[in-house]
């Protein structure tokens, strides 16, 4: 369902009324109109800073150069020498940027992985404070730090622990004009995964992702981080459940856009709609009830008929059966638990037992911010979506040795048939409860899923990424 208020306040009349009444104006987000491009930052000025010269600073400079950005460093920043050394090592040209030169950058990347005490955190202030008044709309901010367990001592861990709170606050300050701010926590030795994460966070593909923390922990055993290529899913066979319409259909479409052959799965009752959706992307329709006891075996058989193993599976299918706990019938509890959780576990177990996954396969599950924050009347749904987060974290440890990655996406308020049925006042309030002051679109979830399913996320495993415009509900 279209956001009529957002559309109206961006008309000439709407702008006048909003200004007269002092109403907030949700930003127009610039979303991707095509697939990933090698020189995605060809028209961007990127300001870069670093707490010290090191492998992260070098990886950042190399990545920005590969994306075609015009890389700038600040003459008044303590971290200038670190970036200059990194640029020299990477054989990349950088130019000096003055905070007051009237030419604002639209990409900001700050490496604070070397921050090891309270004094080192001053770099956050020095880098951002002089520039935030001039940040163009739909700019991108990324801070890079280390995970807490990767620090040399308690003081360094304390310094790194400041970054999630900082980035969440900065995202809330920056969201009014569509700018996003995110944190990458890169494990020592996993620096080769930085470029893929930056390609996502610094692009229109992540328009509705802000205030989030993404751990980059390194590729699974035997998996090498591949150099970037356009249409990175070419030759991959992907399964998407709940693919007939809505978010599932959007996921299938974006996976196909990046080169994947998609097997779309949905209930036999939706076979006609599923067929139409798959036909539009050159995919394969597979009418199947995912709660069938042998659904995983059937999916493996379909993949085998198409000449291969499963490279990607997206567990998107899910249902809600809302009732207050005191009024909930047992069958409503059982139904939601089986569809949203039991089917995922059974399917993956059967695919693993049958050796149906290809090497370097990627599993993506759909959670929800409802599983993080909870919702009255959704104890069954929230339990399953919370369990998915734990499942992904636990399974990552088991699958890493098999060369398989597993991650989750947690959507916030997304414009779908389900949210269109919410009473109008409740719906309008829910839309505005995020730093970007609007609901997301199915394509926003599809873009995040495709990132997790692609080589760009080779260093990401066991993570749950919220796609919610930094919804004010939840952690």
Q: Quick check: is 381 catalytic? A: yes
Give which of 35, 109, 47, 38 is closest to 68, Cα–Cα.
38
Alpha-carbon span 386 to 397, nearest angstrom: 18
* Catalytic option among 36, 108, 125, 381: 381
| Assigned token pair, 28 | 């127009």
Return the SS3 of 190. Answer: coil
Q: Helix 379-399 to helix 343-353 angle, to the nearest 10 degrees?
A: 20
What six digits make up the tokens of 231? 């249409």
CA distances 334 to 20, 211, 380, 385, Å, are: 52, 34, 8, 14
Strands, E, within 44-157: which ranges? 45-50, 70-74, 95-97, 107-111, 140-145
Q: Alpha-carbon distance 73 to 89, whole Å?
A: 15
Are residues 61 and 87 in contact, defined by beta-carbon separation less than 8 angstroms? yes
Hey, CA dihedral for 131, 133, 136, 139, is it positive or negative? Answer: positive
CA dihedral for 381, 387, 389, 391, sign (positive or negative): negative
Contact assessment for residue 449 and residue 409, using Cβ atoms and an 8 Å cutoff? yes
Close Cβ partners of 93 (under 8 Å, ≥ 6 residues apart): 71, 87
Residues annotated as part of the active site = 381
């Amino acid at each position: 369902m279209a956001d009529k208020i957002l559309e109206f306040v961006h008309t000439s009349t709407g702008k006048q009324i909003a200004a007269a009444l002092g109403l907030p104006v949700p930003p127009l987000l610039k979303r991707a109109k095509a697939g990933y491009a090698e020189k995605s930052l060809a028209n961007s000025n990127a300001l870069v800073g670093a707490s010290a010269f090191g492998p992260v600073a070098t990886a950042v400079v190399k990545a920005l150069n590969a994306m075609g950005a015009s890389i700038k460093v600040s003459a008044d920043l303590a971290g200038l020498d670190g970036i200059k050394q990194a640029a020299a090592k990477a054989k990349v040209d950088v130019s000096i940027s003055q905070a007051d030169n009237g030419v604002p950058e639209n990409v900001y990347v700050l490496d604070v992985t070397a921050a090891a005490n309270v004094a080192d955190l001053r770099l956050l202030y020095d880098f951002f404070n002089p520039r935030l008044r001039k940040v163009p709309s739909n700019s991108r901010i990324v801070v890079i730090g280390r995970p807490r367990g990767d620090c040399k001592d308690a003081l360094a861990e304390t310094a790194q622990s400041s970054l999630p709170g900082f980035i969440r606050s900065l995202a809330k300050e920056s969201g009014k004009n569509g700018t996003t701010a995110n944190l990458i926590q890169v494990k020592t030795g996993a620096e080769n995964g930085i470029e893929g994460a930056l390609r996502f966070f610094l692009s229109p593909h992540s328009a509705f992702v802000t205030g989030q923390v993404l751990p980059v922990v390194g590729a699974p055993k035997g998996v090498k981080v591949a150099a970037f290529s356009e249409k990175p899913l070419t030759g991959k066979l992907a399964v998407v459940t709940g693919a007939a319409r809505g978010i599932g259909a959007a996921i299938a479409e974006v996976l196909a856009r990046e080169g994947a052959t998609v097997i779309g799965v949905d209930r036999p009752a939706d076979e006609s709609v599923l067929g139409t959706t798959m036909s539009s992307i050159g995919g394969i329709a597979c009418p199947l009830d995912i709660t069938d006891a042998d659904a995983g075996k059937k999916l493996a058989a379909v993949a085998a008929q198409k000449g291969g193993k499963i490279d990607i599976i997206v567990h998107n299918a899910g249902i809600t059966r809302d009732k207050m706990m005191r009024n909930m019938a047992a069958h409503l509890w059982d139904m939601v638990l089986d569809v949203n959780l039991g089917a995922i576990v059974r399917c993956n177990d059967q695919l693993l037992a049958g050796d149906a996954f290809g090497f370097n396969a990627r599993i993506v599950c759909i959670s929800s911010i409802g599983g993080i924050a909870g919702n009255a009347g959704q104890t069954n749904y929230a339990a399953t979506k919370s369990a998915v987060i734990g499942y992904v974290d636990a399974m990552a440890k088991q699958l890493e040795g098999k060369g398989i990655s597993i991650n989750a996406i947690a959507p916030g308020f997304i414009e779908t048939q389900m949210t269109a049925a919410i009473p109008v006042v409740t719906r309008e309030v829910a839309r505005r409860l995020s730093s970007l002051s609007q609901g997301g679109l199915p394509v926003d979830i599809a873009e995040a899923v495709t990132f997790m399913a692609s080589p760009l996320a080779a260093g990401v495993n066991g993570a749950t990424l919220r796609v919610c415009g930094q919804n004010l509900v939840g952690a």
